[in-house]
């Protein structure tokens, strides 16, 4: 069974802090990777796709390490509104996605 | 706005009842998916469809069936609901014609409780 593993947290950080999440994937055939954000009892929303070269979107930076099969998400200058669960996702090779169970982030004043 | 909608948003039913959850999308996407989410277990794929004539079982299809009535509509049925099917159900879509074909977009979810 193809797995995506994440630390469930919660990560408790103060506003303005930098926080990083890692996840590992077991399917070496995976080609596409994503981070989704999910607020409590809401639908997951795509935060960013993860490219081989790494990519940045404002305060968010995603990195992919294919050799070690892990993906990271870095959030700089945390805001209260960043409090959510972050889902690490890899495609399964059959055009479906495998979701990690999520990492909870709590940003406090 | 192009969107993914789900009906009903909340449903409480009794063991043994037949339940249908509906999903509609105005995104023009060809691919549609049904997931369930349980605390501590994450999102798990139930069924998926790559076009109107295509239906595929996901990780946890037992006890469920689906119908792809049109490109924009994908229904999930519980033929005889049981309490362990109590969960949050999400529909999602993706567009195979784009480079970002694996990106999925989710509906708001249906909270189902089986008593």
Strands (E), chain B: 4-7, 10-13, 19-25, 31-38, 42-49, 56-57, 64-70, 73-78, 87-94, 105-106, 110-114
DSSP A60: E
Across the interface, whether the CB atoms of B42 and A99 are under 8 A apart is answered: yes
> B15 burial class (0-12, 13-18, 19+ CB within 10 angstroms)?
exposed
3-class DSSP assignment, residue B33: strand
Task: Say whether the peptide bond before residue B71 is cis (omega within 30 degrees of 0).
Answer: no
Q: What is the pLDDT of residues A20-39, one digit of tens each?
A: 999 999 988 888 899 999 99
Per-residue pLDDT reduced to its tens digit, B61-113: 999 999 998 999 999 999 999 999 999 999 999 998 877 778 899 999 999 99
Rounded to the nearest integer, the mean pLDDT of chain A is 93
- For A64-82, the pLDDT digits (tens) are 999 999 999 999 999 999 9
- Amino acid A52: pLDDT: 80
Task: For chain A, say whether B88 makes contact (Cβ under 8 Å).
Answer: yes
Q: Is the pLDDT confidence value at A90 over 80? A: yes
Check CB contact of A90 with chain B, cutoff 8 Å: no
């Amino acid at each position: 069974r193809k797995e995506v593993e994440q630390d469930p947290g919660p990560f408790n950080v103060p506003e303005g802090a930098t926080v990083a999440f890692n996840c590992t994937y077991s399917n070496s055939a995976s080609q596409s990777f994503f981070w989704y954000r999910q607020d409590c009892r809401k639908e997951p929303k795509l935060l960013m796709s993860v490219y081989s070269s790494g990519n940045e979107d404002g305060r968010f930076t995603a990195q992919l390490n294919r050799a070690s099969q892990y993906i990271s998400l870095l959030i700089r200058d945390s805001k209260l509104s960043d409090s959510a669960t972050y889902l690490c996702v890899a495609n399964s090779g059959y055009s479906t996605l495998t979701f990690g169970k999520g990492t909870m982030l709590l940003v406090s004043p | 706005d192009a969107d993914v909608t789900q009906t009903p948003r909340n449903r409480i039913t009794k063991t043994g009842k037949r339940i249908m959850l509906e999903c509609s999308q105005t995104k023009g996407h060809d691919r549609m998916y049904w997931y369930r989410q349980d605390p501590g277990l994450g999102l798990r794929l139930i069924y998926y469809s790559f076009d109107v004539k295509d239906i595929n079982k996901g990780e946890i299809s037992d006890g469920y069936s689906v119908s792809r009535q049109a490109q924009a509509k994908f229904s999930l049925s519980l033929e005889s609901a049981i309490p362990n099917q109590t969960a949050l159900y999400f529909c999602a879509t993706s567009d195979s014609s784009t480079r970002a074909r694996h990106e999925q977009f989710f509906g708001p979810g249906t909270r189902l409780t089986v008593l």
